[in-house]
Amino acid sequence: MQVLSAHAPRRLSEGWQCVSTPAGACATPASLDTFAQWIDAPVPGTIASALRASGVSDEALAQPFAHADHWYRVKLSGNGKRRLRFNGLATIAEIWLDDRKLLDTDSMFVAHDLDVDLNGDHMLHLCFRSIAPALAAKRGRARWRPKLAQPATLRNVRTTLLGHMSGWCPTIQPAGPWRAIELIGESRSCIDNVDMQTRIDGNDGLLDIAVRFFHAQEHTPVTLQCGETQATLKWQDAHTLTGQVRVPNVRAWFPHTHGEPSLYAVKLGDIALGDVGFRTIEVDRGADNKGFQLVVNGVPVFARGACWTSADIVALDAPREKLDSIFRLMRDAGLNIVRVSGITLYESDTFYELADKHGVLVWQDFAFANFDYPDDETFRGSVQREAEQFLTRTRRFASLAVLCGGSEVHQQAAMLGLPFDAYQQRLFTELLPNAIAARRPDVAYVVNSPSAAPGDTESMPFNTRGGITHYYGVPAYQRSFDDVRRAQVRFASECLAFANVPDDVALRAIPNPRAHEPRWKAGVPRDPGSAWDFDDVREHYMHSLYRLDVPRLRYENPERYLELSRAVVADVIGAVFSEWRREGSTCAGGIVWNLLDVRPGAGWGVIDVLGVPKSALHGLARVLQPVQALILDEGLDGLDVHLVNETAREIRARVELVCLRDGAVKVAGGSRDLVLQPRSVQRVSSNALIGAFFDIAYAYRFGPRAHDATHVVLRDTDTGAVLSEAFHFPDPSVGERRDIGLHVAVEKDDDGWSLVVGTDQLARWVHVVDPNYYARIDWFHLAPGSTRRIPLVARHANVRAAPEGDVSAINAIRSAAYRAR
Q: What is the pLDDT of residues 658-681, one digit of tens each?
A: 999 999 999 999 999 999 999 999
DSSP 452: P
Closest CA to 45 of 386, 344, 345, 314: 314
Closest CA to 157 of 89, 92, 63, 87: 92
SS3 content of the chain, % helix, strand, coil (to 5): 20, 35, 45
| The CATH number of the domain covering residues in 743-819 | 2.60.40.10
CATH class of the domain defined by 627-728 = mainly beta
Say what the pLDDT of residue 513 is. 76
Report how far residue 641's alpha carbon sits from residue 311's, in angstroms, rounded to the nearest whole number. 38
Q: What is the pLDDT of residues 404-440, one digit of tens each?
A: 999 999 999 999 999 999 899 999 999 999 999 999 9
Cβ atoms of 582 and 630 closer than 8 Å: yes
Which residues make Cβ contacts (< 8 Å) with residue 327, sequence separation at least 6? 354, 355, 357, 358, 360
Report how far residue 392's alpha carbon sits from residue 496's, in angstroms, rounded to the nearest whole number. 33
Q: Are strands 627-633 and 773-775 parallel, antiparallel or unpaired?
A: unpaired
Distances (CA, A) of 623 to 334, 401, 574, 617: 8, 23, 6, 10
| DSSP of 305-360 | EEEE--S-TTTS---HHHHHHHHHHHHHTT--EEEE-TTS-PPPHHHHHHHHHHT-
Q: Where along the chain do its domains lie?
A: 10-184, 191-276, 287-621, 627-728, 743-819
CATH class of the domain defined by 287-621 = alpha beta
Report how far residue 295's alpha carbon sits from residue 310's, in angstroms, rounded to the nearest whole number. 28
Strands (E), 177-331: 181-184, 191-201, 204-213, 222-226, 229-235, 240-247, 264-268, 271-276, 281-284, 293-296, 299-301, 303-308
Of the CATH numbers 3.30.465.10, 1.10.760.10, 2.60.40.10, 2.40.70.10, which one belongs to the domain with range 191-276?
2.60.40.10
Say what the pLDDT of residue 626 is. 98
Max Cα–Cα distance, the chain, nearest Å:
93
Q: Are strands 763-769 and 589-592 parallel, antiparallel or unpaired?
A: unpaired
Domain 10-184 has CATH 3.40.50.300: no
Residues with pLDDT less than 70, the chain: 1-5
H helix runs in 440-503, sequence order: 482-486
Say what the pLDDT of residue 127 is. 98
Which residues make Cβ contacts (< 8 Å) with residue 392, sequence separation at least 6? 195, 439
Cβ atoms of 523 and 601 closer than 8 Å: yes
Closest CA to 165 of 656, 594, 707, 694: 594
Is 743-819 in the same CATH topology as 191-276? Answer: yes
Q: What is the pLDDT of residues 613-628, one digit of tens each?
A: 999 999 999 999 999 9
* Coil, helix or strand at residue 745: strand
Say what the pLDDT of residue 527 is. 85
